[in-house]
Structure 1
Amino acid sequence: MLHHCLHNFGLGENECIVHADNCAGQNKNRYLLAYFCWRILLGLHRQITYMMQIPGHARCLVDSNFAHIKRLYKRSDCNSLEQLRSIVDKSSYSNNAVLYAEEESWMWSDWVQFFSEHFDPLKGLRRFQIFRFCHDSPGYVLCKKSSDGEEIPVRLLKSDVRHFAHDARPPEISPGGLTRERQAYLYSRIRPFVTNPWKDVTCPPVQNEE
């Protein structure tokens, strides 16, 4: 999703600063660091600074955008994906819903496999708060424990920069769709709460297997 956002909503900037909360399981992980390192290697950015919020200061603008969606969602009828998209788009001028089925440039990719092959994990990752990726140090991340701390360079790229395949891309992943069990759940548990004419759109009857 981050790759899709930077690719489609970027303004051609050479540098960017990304703020995130200090969630080790979601944001502070090896694959996101590898992704930023990869963008520098491909020349998509000249510098990326990735900053974690300190404990006790975990509120950010993204949270407020989700709050706008929840506030409007509670006051709206929502029986289909189209209505959900309308709610998201109307909730705030900065919210823009993206439906996978209608977005030609959207695709799921196996970034985990791709980055595992080309990049090493950062040891002691949770000790750092600020990560900087720069075109002057391709394949490296410059880590700091605090804003006024010493910048420590750490190599992430496994191979020599000269041998890195710049045209390599992660393999695509085809969405598997809803399982039969999930379809049955939607039909039996959710369908009674969906109004016409969206019952057969959102919770259609489960097709009998031949």
Structure 2
Amino acid sequence: MLDDGKQRKGVNCIISLVWNAIQRYNCGKKKLVITCDNCVRQNKNNYFLFFYSWLIDHDIYEEVEMNFMIPDHTKFICDSYFGLIKILYQKSKVNTIDDVASIINNSTTVHFNVSEHHLNEEGFQYYNFKDYFQKFKKIPYIQKYHHFYFTSWHPGIVFYKDKVKDSYKETTVHNFSFNFNIQPFIINIRPLTLKRQEKLYKEIVPYVDLPFRNITCPKPNERKINN
């Protein structure tokens, strides 16, 4: 859960979120299996392939298996839990991002859904993975393929195929050694533009209860932007 004005859902944002989750929740498992939809901007792109290859190089995993849903299938088990959040959200009064966090935490009786509210980037950073992976070799036409595999037995190589029954093809995405002391650069977060502040103040404030308006949609502050 990220405050407004942060990174949009591009490559750097999504990979940074996944990287944060791996660092926080990986309990020493050496095989990672991922199921994704076919969203090019968020999931199905060369940079995510580079990222999982990079995890292998870092010895964080020995195997990574990445599977994309077949065409015309866009929903799977994770979406059902988002659906539970939506049901409670529609029944609740929401004034602040803390209210959203409360809805998420109470949307399942077994606490399967748990919010992680990153306030002022404490404990979380956006990284510029896109620039970091510029030397990697892109795989053409990756939209044609639905299964990717990475293994420590073949570092720098991505195995890929369309259907489960197919045999894997392979390609090398990098053949150079990493300097693991060099990490992706941290992306500094810019404050909301004055235009965005004005839009929120004009369009959102009427729906926020008075005691919370200065929290959720404060009056535009041009001086703060200029500073």
**Normalising by the residue count of structure 2, what TM-score does the alignment of the two structures yield?**
0.85
Change (3 A) 1:22 1:208: closer
Partner residue, 1:101: 119
User: What is the CA-CA distance between 1:169 and the residue it aligns to?
Assistant: 1.1
Q: Which has the higher contact order (CA 8 A, sep 6+)?
A: 2
Moved over 4 A (4+): none
The superposition leaves residues 39-63 of structure 1 with CA deviations (integer Å, 9 ceiling, x where unpaired) of: 0001000000001111233321121
Counterpart residue identity of residue 114, structure 2: N
8 Å CA contact 2:205–2:213 kept in 1: the answer is: yes
Partner residue, 2:58: 42
The one of 190, 194, 205 aligned to 1:176: 190
8 Å CA contact 1:37–1:139 kept in 2: the answer is: yes
CA RMSD after TM alignment: 1.6
Structure 2 distance, partners of 1:79, 1:72, is: 14
**Normalising by the residue count of structure 1, what TM-score does the alignment of the two structures yield?**
0.92
Pairs aligned (count): 206
Question: Which shows bigger deviation, 50-59 or 11-20?
Answer: 50-59
Partner residue, 2:48: 32
Counterpart residue identity of residue 71, structure 1: I
In the TM superposition, 1:46-195 aligns within 5 A as: 46-92=62-108, 93-101=111-119, 104-116=122-134, 118-157=135-174, 159-160=175-176, 163-195=177-209
Counterpart residue identity of residue 98, structure 1: E
Counterpart residue identity of residue 170, structure 1: P
Partner secondary structure for residue 105 of structure 2: helix
User: What is the CA-CA distance between 1:103 and the residue it aligns to?
Assistant: 5.8
Gaps of 5+ in 2: 1-16
Counterpart residue identity of residue 97, structure 2: L
Gaps of 5+ in 1: none
Counterpart residue identity of residue 115, structure 1: F
Structure 1 distance, partners of 2:68, 2:220, is: 45
Counterpart residue identity of residue 116, structure 2: V
Change (3 A) 1:79 1:140: same
8 Å CA contact 1:41–1:166 kept in 2: the answer is: no
The superposition leaves residues 139-175 of structure 1 with CA deviations (integer Å, 9 ceiling, x where unpaired) of: 0111122112111111011x42xx3212221100111
Structure 2 distance, partners of 1:47, 1:80, is: 41
